[in-house]
């Protein structure tokens, strides 16, 4: 659930205003407080790196609930929608309306050092005439961070989630299944960061499990639980700061994947990747975070060829004005497949996102992206294009109205997949603490 919480900022002029209130006559104090408030807001809005979505809006940001040294945030989100092509087909197209319901809560410490917190969220969708496509996703997360110093800390996290693969995704379509595929994940991670003058070091270890619904489908030749697997990922990274806001980076990641069912053990694999890149703030208007390298995955099964290729991840942010933010994103990964005739695929995602502050409390957004999946066996390629437009009206601190439209089209496909287009409309009302 994107944009679950918006963080409230404390006005830094508050203490000064209190002092001046007692030292100046009433009219002068009011005028001085207004001028200072405007100056603080202007400085904060124009601060280096502040974007349309990260900018604080003191008149509209939810305040949350203070509980001693903790803060509680929460939201409930509900609204109708319409999907013009539920199954992503070219023929026998089925459309339907639905209602989305979402909720989330977060309790986090507000300490000057160290941090602990817990958060939970859920999203459910009920269709009017196609209840087989209903889903309910949820997750719960807890974390704790220990700060040894301003530059050194270690953090641990645990997360459990219930998620799903959409019926129009290439993975589900490749199975011939006409319903979402649900799965559970458990995740435990530990990360650490430190810095020695210009040199920064980071390291992490993550264990994650995937457990698919234990249901048989004739088209798969068995149960989807054959795809259950555990993965362990270790990473180490370093950076060298050339100048403030400008650093050269290097990252190495190792991943081991182990399937839990003996019939799937040939899919077990080991992956390594190495990337070089940079984090660069050019002039406050352009910022870039880019890393490029190589990735290779080797399988235990003798008949499975290694999957290798370019590894890339990057984001370029352009701030043409204080009211507009443009982001360019690219990500290339190797992902596991749940299909019987495929083990994994290389995925390339790229796009452009534009956020514009039409009014202080009206945010317009547009996103256009491409999602390309390349299967090695069988040799298949699928490219989808997605356009998303949305508008957020911040009515007050506690209410927000969201309207969104999404258009999807299959731009390229191999045998076995349909070319199709899909229109999705949604309107939601969000209430926040």
List the CATH number of the domain containing 409. 2.40.160
Last residue of a domain, one of 32, 47, 62: 47
For residues 218 and 176, give the distance between their C-alpha atoms in angstroms, rounded to a whole number.
Answer: 9
pLDDT value at position 215? 66
The phi, psi pair for 226, rounded to 5°, reads: -65, -15
Contacting residues for 133 by C-beta, under 8 A, at least 6 apart: 86, 96, 125, 127, 167, 179, 180
Residue 14's domain spans which residues? 1-47
Q: How confident is the model at residue 220 (pLDDT cuts 50, 70, 90)?
A: low
Residue 277, judged by CB atoms within 10 A of its CB (0-12, 13-18, 19+), counts as buried
- The reply to whether 286 and 333 lie within a common domain is yes
Higher per-residue pLDDT: 271 or 23: 271
- The reply to whether 36 and 79 lie within a common domain is no
Q: How many domains does the chain have?
A: 2
Residue 115, judged by CB atoms within 10 A of its CB (0-12, 13-18, 19+), counts as middle
3-state DSSP assignment of residue 55:
coil
- The reply to whether 43 and 92 lie within a common domain is no
Are the CB atoms for 394 and 406 separated by under 8 Å?
no
- The reply to whether 365 and 426 lie within a common domain is yes
- The reply to whether 354 and 402 lie within a common domain is yes
- The reply to whether 6 and 101 lie within a common domain is no
- The reply to whether 141 and 15 lie within a common domain is no
Model confidence, pTM: 0.82
User: CA end-to-end span of the chain, whole Å?
Assistant: 17
State the average pLDDT over residues 298-303: 88
- The reply to whether 22 and 55 lie within a common domain is no
- The reply to whether 25 and 139 lie within a common domain is no
pLDDT value at position 304? 86
pLDDT value at position 21? 33
- The reply to whether 29 and 64 lie within a common domain is no
pLDDT value at position 216? 60
Are the CB atoms for 294 and 311 separated by under 8 Å?
yes
- The reply to whether 400 and 259 lie within a common domain is yes
Q: What is the pLDDT of residues 141-183, one digit of tens each?
A: 999 999 999 999 999 999 999 999 998 888 888 777 888 899 9
User: Shortest CA distance to 123 belongs to which of 178, 182, 76?
Assistant: 76
What is the residue-averaged pLDDT of the chain?
87
State the average pLDDT over residues 325-337: 94
Higher per-residue pLDDT: 85 or 42: 85
Are the CB atoms for 171 and 337 separated by under 8 Å?
yes
- The reply to whether 14 and 85 lie within a common domain is no
For residues 86 and 411, give the distance between their C-alpha atoms in angstroms, rounded to a whole number.
Answer: 18
Higher per-residue pLDDT: 390 or 224: 390
| The pLDDT of residue 265 is above 60 | yes
């Amino acid at each position: 659930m994107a944009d679950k919480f918006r963080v409230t900022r404390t006005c830094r002029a508050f203490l000064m205003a209190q002092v001046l209130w007692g030292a100046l006559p009433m009219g002068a104090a009011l005028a001085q407080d207004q001028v200072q408030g405007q100056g603080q807001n202007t400085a904060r809005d124009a601060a280096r790196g502040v974007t349309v979505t990260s900018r604080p809006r003191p008149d509209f940001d939810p305040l949350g609930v203070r509980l001693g040294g903790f803060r509680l945030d929460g939201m409930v989100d509900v609204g109708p929608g319409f999907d013009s092509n539920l199954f992503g087909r070219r023929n026998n197209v089925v459309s339907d309306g639905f209602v989305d319901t979402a909720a989330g809560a977060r309790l986090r410490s507000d300490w000057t050092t160290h941090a602990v917190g817990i958060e939970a969220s859920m999203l459910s969708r009920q269709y009017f005439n196609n209840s087989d496509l209903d889903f309910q996703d949820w997750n719960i997360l807890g974390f704790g961070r220990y700060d040894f110093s301003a530059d050194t800390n270690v953090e641990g996290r645990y997360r459990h989630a219930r998620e799903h693969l959409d019926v129009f995704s290439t993975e589900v379509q490749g199975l011939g299944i006409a319903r979402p595929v649900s799965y559970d994940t458990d995740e435990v991670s530990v990360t650490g960061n430190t810095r020695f003058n210009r040199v920064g070091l980071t390291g992490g270890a993550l264990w994650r499990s995937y457990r698919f619904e234990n249901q048989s489908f004739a088209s798969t030749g068995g149960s989807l639980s054959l795809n259950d697997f555990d993965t362990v990922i270790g990473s180490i990274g370093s950076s060298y700061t050339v100048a403030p806001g400008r650093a050269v980076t290097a990252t190495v990641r190792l991943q081991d994947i182990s399937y839990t069912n003996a019939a799937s053990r040939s899919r077990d694999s080991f992956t390594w990747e190495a990337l070089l890149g940079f984090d660069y703030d050019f002039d406050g208007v352009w910022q870039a975070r880019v890393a490029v390298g190589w990735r290779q995955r080797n399988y235990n099964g003798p008949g499975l060829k290694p999957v290798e290729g370019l590894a890339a991840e990057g984001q370029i942010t352009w701030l043409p004005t204080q009211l507009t933010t443009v982001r360019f994103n690219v990500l290339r990964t190797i992902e596991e497949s749940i299909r019987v005739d495929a083990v994994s695929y290389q995925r390339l995602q790229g796009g452009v996102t534009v956020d514009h502050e039409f009014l202080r409390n009206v945010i317009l957004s547009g996103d256009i992206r491409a999602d390309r999946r390349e299967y090695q066996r069988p040799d298949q390629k699928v490219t989808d294009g997605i356009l998303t437009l949305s508008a957020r009206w911040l009515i007050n601190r506690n209410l927000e109205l969201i309207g969104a439209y999404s258009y999807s089209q299959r731009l390229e496909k191999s045998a076995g997949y349909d070319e199709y287009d899909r229109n999705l409309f949604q309107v939601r009302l969000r209430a926040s603490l």
